[in-house]
Amino acid sequence: MANDLFLGVDVGSVSTDLVLMDKEGQIRAKLYLKTSGRPVEILKKGLMLLNRQVGGSMRIKGAGVTGSGRQLAGLLIGADVIKNEITAHAVAAMKIEPSVRTVLEIGGQDSKIIFLKDGMVADFAMNTVCAAGTGSFLDRQATRLEIPIEEFGGYALRAANPVRIAGRCAVFAESDMVHKQQTGHGNEDIIAGLCEALVRNYLNNLAKGKEICGPIVFQGGVAANVGMAAAFEKILQKKIIIPRDFEVMGAYGAAILAQEEIEATGNTTRFLGFENLNSDFSVMSLECKDCPNMCEVIKIRANGSLKACWGDRCGKWSALAGKAANG
């Protein structure tokens, strides 16, 4: 008998995450892959690896996508649900902790904070400008200090006297770390100070004076850094909950939303199947100069045929793609 599973995909600028979830909401398989600027290729690779992990007894009952590349991913796989990251992360956090009030999410190149009330998103904020505190910045500092990123947070926990680091931006934080090294401070105290500085920067940029109520769930790749989690607990004076599958919570939320959509509508899934991986997909962009909007239009082709366009405000290119796909 086939296993009925729901597929969730989160395509971001740094990572592409995939989850297979059963109807009880348990994650049966997951993948965290570097996007490496090749979202189509990495998505196809991820689906192929998932198919191998679970085997031929799998039957996809629904598919959901999220992330900055959700429109592209939705078209490639035939998604039933295409949702923004805020919704996906909030839904996943509520599955882990139904009474959650605050979600802290820090990924490779951006960060988010989500405030919930009565099981609904009440407010949120995103930061895609400042790199301080994101996974890519922490990776760079670990490399510079010649410390494996997996051990980076552990150094912070061993600190005796964390130093004060200027964390208001990545450039200032890095230069201040160099200065502290030159004045003789140890790596443990510097890294602990950095984690605290990055947490202060996160809260100042995103919380903006708003009350952070518990329960608090910390997710995203940076949740693996125990130093950052400890710094949040120290500064907020509240317990931080880190889900077991913290690194794929966006994809998990997309799978949950797909299940909800299929069960609410009674529709069969639009998932195109793993055999669709053999299609030859290509993506290109153009700047439309037909009006002052100067829209950047994304065009996607499969086996040479135009399948979809998006990014145009007037809908001209989208309508053209729709006619091509249906004709």
Query: Rounded to an integer, what distance in angstroms lies between the CA atom of residue 180 and that of residue 182?
Result: 5
SS (H, E, C) 186-198: CHHHHHHHHHHHH
- Tell me the residue type at 99: S
Task: Collapse the DSSP code of 39 into the 3-class scheme (helix H, G, I; strand E, B; otherwise coil) and give the result.
Answer: helix
Domain containing 216 equals 96-244
How many Å apart are CA 307 and CA 327, to the nearest integer? 11
- Check if the beta carbon of residue 257 is closer than 8 Å to that of residue 91: yes
Interior angle at CA 14, CA 227 and CA 78, nearest 5: 130
Q: Are residues 208 and 261 in the same domain?
A: no
In this prediction, residue 31 carries a pLDDT of: 93
Q: How far apart are CA 201 and CA 208, in angstroms?
A: 10
Domain check: are 119 and 211 in the same one?
Answer: yes
User: What is the predicted pLDDT for the residue at 286?
Assistant: 79
What is the CATH number for 208?
Answer: 3.30.420.40
* 159 and 269 co-located in one domain: no
Residues 116 and 208 placed together within one structural domain of the fold = yes
Residues 102 and 236 in one domain: yes
pLDDT at res. 89: 96
255 and 231 share one domain: no
Q: Among residues 54, 48, 179, 145, which one has the least CA distance to residue 137?
A: 145
d(CA 325, CA 308): 7
Q: Are residues 215 and 144 in the same domain?
A: yes
d(C-alpha 40, C-alpha 13), whole Å? 12
Instruction: Domain count for the chain, please give it.
Output: 3
**Secondary structure (DSSP) of 75-102:** HHHT-SEE--HHHHHHHHHHHH-TT--E
Is the domain of 142 the same as that of 173? yes
Do 105 and 232 lie in one domain? The reply is: yes
pLDDT (tens place) for every residue of the chain, 327 residues total: 358 899 999 988 788 999 999 999 999 999 999 887 788 888 888 998 988 888 767 789 999 999 888 888 888 888 999 999 999 999 999 999 999 999 999 887 778 999 999 999 999 998 766 655 577 778 888 888 788 888 888 888 888 888 887 766 666 777 777 778 777 788 888 888 888 888 888 888 888 878 899 899 999 988 888 989 999 999 999 999 999 999 999 999 999 999 999 999 999 999 988 877 666 667 777 788 888 778 877 777 766 677 666 667 777 776 765 555 554
- The confidence score (pLDDT) of residue 129 equals 60
Q: How far apart are CA 306 and CA 277, in angstroms?
A: 17
Q: Looking at the structure, do residues 196 and 123 belong to the same domain, yes or no? A: yes
